[in-house]
Amino acid sequence: MDNQKNFYIQTFGCQMNEHDSETLAGMLTELGYTQIFDEKDAQLVILNTCSVRENADQRFFGTLGQLKKLKEKKPGFTVAVCGCMMQQQHIIDTLKAKYPWVDLVFGTHNIHEFPKLIDNVMNERRKLVEVWPDGGEIVEGLPVKRLYPFKSFVNIMYGCNNFCTYCIVPYTRGRERSRRPEDIVAEVKKLAEDGVKEITLLGQNVNSYGVSPHYGGYCYKEEENGVDFAGLLYLLNEIEGIERIHFMTSHPKDLSDRLIQAFVDCDKLCKKIHLPVQAGSTEILRRMNRKYTKEQYLELVKKLRAAVPDIAITTDLIVGFPGETEEDFQETLDLVRQVEYDSAFTFLYSIRKGTPAEKYEDQVPEEVKHDRFNRLVEQIHEIQGRKSRRYQDQIVKVLVEGLSQRNSETYAGHTDFGKTVNFNGTPDLVGKIVEIKVTEAKTFSLWGEVVRVIG
């Protein structure tokens, strides 16, 4: 094999992007490329972009600027960019004007055409911009090069119909299209046969799986024995070899009683839900077009905890959305105190070009946003630390993932409720589920010792 026929992928953004990168890696591997993990030694570099947050844009352009030096030094060095940012015309215009040395630009809807596109670029040495405005039929059977042999992402749907006023995703990922349940089941069975123990089901809003009858996807309402999201979970729970099922992301407006019951009935479904609230003020939620109130959200939390008292609930929160007053922010703090989240992703609101909120005139000053952000994070960390301490001296089940990223002398994994656990271990434990006694409960992670290997 040509030693120079290798590639490096850098991924920005969410799990959906991470899984897209695994697909790109799978296609390149089938073409005879070798994946490496240092862009300086690569022949082909792919940047898979995210458009949700402003800092992701900045990181992408900063990284792209650094690659220009490699482009000038290395003959045949090829740069490809893809992902959500490429679905925005102003980004493409910027690339053409300021980064003309980029070889290939493609989007989220034509990822399956990547082998053909990269072949044209490599063999004909010509630049290509190939971005589809919309997705067509769902393409099944694309190869995947998984990062971990024992766990895997599984896309169950693509796109979003919610149009939150701050979010660019419906414009970059398109309208909702669901995969057929039999295709998902077949994929998961194959993963189980390949040794996968844990799957994470992906979608911009998994709760609306199979709801949309348009855009070429599956719609359970059009079939006599159609399968909704809860029904899909029940099917996957029966697959031998799979031991853990996660899903994300879940929109509150579509969280059904049947889905809540699935947490009770499905023993493999992890007792954890990521339920983004974004804000605690009903007025701000209205301006965000979230389609639920603070009270309705709290009622969902009440139902979840009634069904599964120890369920872990995580969320997303945006601080400083246009028009947010101190009173609105206090509503968010109140909601956080009532729910007592196990963890939360917190964000400063940033304007996304092309969204309705871009045109809102009552933007919150940066210093106010930062002050509120700091107060929110302090509140979340206090709750998170207190909830972590309940695991002190308890035994938890952990899927061992490998060496800890922060300490190369210890191993790390995750509980079924999403908590990171660090411990002294050995290489043979990687990919296995073990019982660990927690000896130290910290705010963001647990430390412990192995008491039993389950398998």
Q: What is the pLDDT of residue 4?
A: 66
Output the domain CATH number for residue 441.
Answer: 2.40.50.140
pTM for the full predicted model:
0.91
* DSSP summary character for residue 3: T
Answer whether residue 1 shows pLDDT above 50: no
Q: What is the pLDDT of residue 269?
A: 98
Burial class (CB in 10 A: 0-12, 13-18, 19+), 432: middle
Residues 227 and 333 in one domain: yes
Last residue in a domain, options 130, 163, 185: 130
Residues 211 and 355 in one domain: yes
Residues 400 and 380 in one domain: no
Count the alpha carbons within 13 Å of 271 in the hemisphere toward its beta carbon. Answer: 15
d(CA 430, CA 402): 5
Answer whether residue 436 shows pLDDT above 70: yes
Answer whether residue 14 shows pLDDT above 90: no
Answer whether residue 287 shows pLDDT above 60: yes
Residues 95 and 180 in one domain: no
Of 22, 2, 226, 227, residue with least CA distance to 114: 22
**Residue with the larger pLDDT of the pair 72 and 399:** 399
Residues 396 and 427 in one domain: yes
d(CA 354, CA 52): 12
Q: How many CB atoms lie within 10 A of CB 92?
A: 17
Most confident segment among 11-20, 76-85, 101-110, 286-295 = 286-295
Answer whether residue 259 shows pLDDT above 60: yes
Structural domain for 82, as ranges: 6-130
Answer whether residue 203 shows pLDDT above 50: yes
Strands 6-11 and 343-348: unpaired
Q: What is the pLDDT of residue 103?
A: 95
Answer whether residue 297 shows pLDDT above 90: yes
Residue 2: which pLDDT band, with cuts at 50, 70 and 90?
very low
Backbone φ, ψ for residue 50 (5° rounding): -125, 145
Of 312, 315, 306, residue with least CA distance to 391: 312
Residue 25 in tokens:
């890696």
Percentage of the chain beyond pLDDT 90 is 84
d(CA 345, CA 53): 12
Answer whether residue 3 shows pLDDT above 70: no
Residues 362 and 243 in one domain: yes
Least confident of 130-134, 268-272, 347-351: 130-134
Q: What is the pLDDT of residues 132-158, one digit of tens each?
A: 888 778 889 999 999 899 999 999 999
Last residue in a domain, options 99, 130, 161: 130
233 Cβ contact partners less than 8 Å away, ≥ 6 residues apart? 245, 247, 259, 262, 266, 269
Please report, in angstroms and rounded to a whole number, the separation of the first and last CA atoms in the chain.
37
Of 135, 130, 245, residue with least CA distance to 184: 245
b/e per residue 206-235 (b: at least 16 CB within 10 A): bbbbbbbeebebbbbeeeeeebbbbbbbeb
Q: Nearest 10 degrees: CA dihedral of 416, 420, 426, 429? A: 20
Residues 323 and 415 in one domain: no
Say if 97 falls within a structural domain: yes
Answer whether residue 54 shows pLDDT above 90: no
- 420 upstream amide cis, omega within 30 of 0: no
Residues 333 and 238 in one domain: yes
Looking at residue 410, its amino acid is T
Q: What is the pLDDT of residues 230-254, one digit of tens each?
A: 999 999 999 999 999 999 999 999 9
Tell me the CA distances in angstroms from 66 to 48, 60, 356, one per residue in order: 16, 10, 33
Residue 405: which pLDDT band, with cuts at 50, 70 and 90?
confident
Is the Cβ–Cβ distance between 398 and 450 less than 8 Å?
Answer: no
Say if 140 falls within a structural domain: no
Last residue in a domain, options 342, 368, 389: 389
d(CA 109, CA 335): 37
- Mean per-residue pLDDT, 53-59: 77
Q: What is the pLDDT of residue 416?
A: 92
d(CA 345, CA 364): 20
Residues 362 and 440 in one domain: no
Residue 449 in tokens:
């010792």
**Residue with the larger pLDDT of the pair 38 and 53:** 38
Residues 55 and 155 in one domain: no
